[in-house]
Amino acid sequence: MAIYRLIKIKIMSVAIIEIPFQTDLLKQIDSFVDEKNCSRADIILEATKMYIARKQNWQKIFSLGDRLALKNNLSETDVMSEIKACRLEK
């Protein structure tokens, strides 16, 4: 009796784009590609994902700060004063 498993494969659509790079930056990418034994596309894709994740994380941090400031009725001046006070304590 054979047992069959259904494997669900998610197929993502792919778009191919052209991006102009400064020659020096492209040389750095190529050097990194040679060192890591991967493709330019791999490096650029990973860098893009990291950039987007970092931007999203910072946006979450700023949104949290805005919500806390609103909840606690804090102004930007209040926040800056607290930062200066904390830095002076160190």
Say whether pLDDT at 47 is over 70: yes
Q: Per-residue pLDDT tens for 75-87? A: 989 989 989 999 9
Non-local (6+) Cβ contacts of 76 within 8 A are 69
pLDDT at 74 exceeding the cut of 70: yes
Give the per-residue pLDDT at 42: 94
By three-state DSSP, how is residue 45 classified? helix
- Which pTM value belongs to this model? 0.68
Q: CA–CA separation, 79 vs 45, rounded Å? A: 37
Overall average pLDDT of the 27-36 stretch:
95
Residue 64 has pLDDT above 90, yes or no: yes
- Kindly report the backbone phi and psi dihedral angles of residue 16, in degrees, each rounded to the nearest multiple of 5, phi listed first: -105, 130
For the chain, the average pLDDT equals: 90
Q: Domain boundaries in the chain?
A: 23-89
